Amino acid sequence: MSLDSHMEKVLWTQDQIQDRVAQIASQITHDFRAAPHPPIIVGVATGAFLFLADLVRRIHLPISVDLVRAQSYGFATLSNGAPTISLDLKLDVKGKHVVLVEDIVDTGCTLSCLIGHLESKGASSVSVCTFLDKPARRKVDIELVGDGKFYKGFECPDYFVVGYGMDFAELYRNLPYVGVLKPEHYK
């Protein structure tokens, strides 16, 4: 079975992804270079794991890395709109700058929940670094904390995409590119 045959089309190749990740990491390095304390990078498991790994290896600061898990999709293609946090941080973010790393911002519900969670833990600022931004599906305005910034890799058209960590029913995360999954494979 070839996973490539399940794709309608490829939106971003492995080379395009790596170039963009390097650009974002350079911007984060620049933005936090003069900060009194380096940021804590918090990846949202499981979808952001490849993006997180590639990103942190290119940030030239003495950063700390942690993970949080929020669930809102299950085995569906649409968010249920009511995310829950199923794995919390081990690092203390009180008084710290946090960069929340997401695979995709879709409705904004999960991201808004996570930003609120980090703020309740006392983060002095929360920035968002998302690999894909899908504003066409946004239901919630994203409100950053403190001097937080919004970093994005690519603006994603309103397709159901997989690859580079993103999945359907826990499959396709291992693809080195981002592709549009053929409907017959998720309906």
Question: pLDDT tens digit string along 154-179?
Answer: 999 999 999 999 999 999 999 999 99
Do strands 7-12 and 178-181 pair parallel, antiparallel, or not at all (unpaired)?
antiparallel
Q: Active site includes 103?
A: no
Question: pLDDT tens digit string along 66-109?
Answer: 999 887 655 555 555 667 777 789 999 999 999 999 999 999 98
Q: What percent of the chain has pLDDT over 70?
A: 93
Q: What CA dihedral angle connects 144, 95, 30 and 106, to 10 degrees?
A: -30
From 106, 147, 158, 167, the catalytic residue: 106
Quick one: pLDDT at residue 85? 78
Domain 4-72+85-185 has CATH 3.40.50.2020: yes
What is each CA distance from 123 to 40, 99, 114, in whole angstroms? 10, 10, 12
Examine the pLDDT at 8 and tell me if it is beyond 70. Answer: yes
For residues 32 and 18, give the distance between their C-alpha atoms in angstroms, rounded to a whole number: 21
Write down the pTM of the prediction.
Answer: 0.90
For residues 109 and 95, give the distance between their C-alpha atoms in angstroms, rounded to a whole number: 24
For residues 24 and 129, give the distance between their C-alpha atoms in angstroms, rounded to a whole number: 8
Quick one: pLDDT at residue 15? 98
Q: What is the DSSP string of 26-51?
A: HHHHHHHTTSSSPPEEEEEETTTHHH
For residues 153 and 156, give the distance between their C-alpha atoms in angstroms, rounded to a whole number: 9
What are the sequence ranges of the domains in the chain?
4-72+85-185
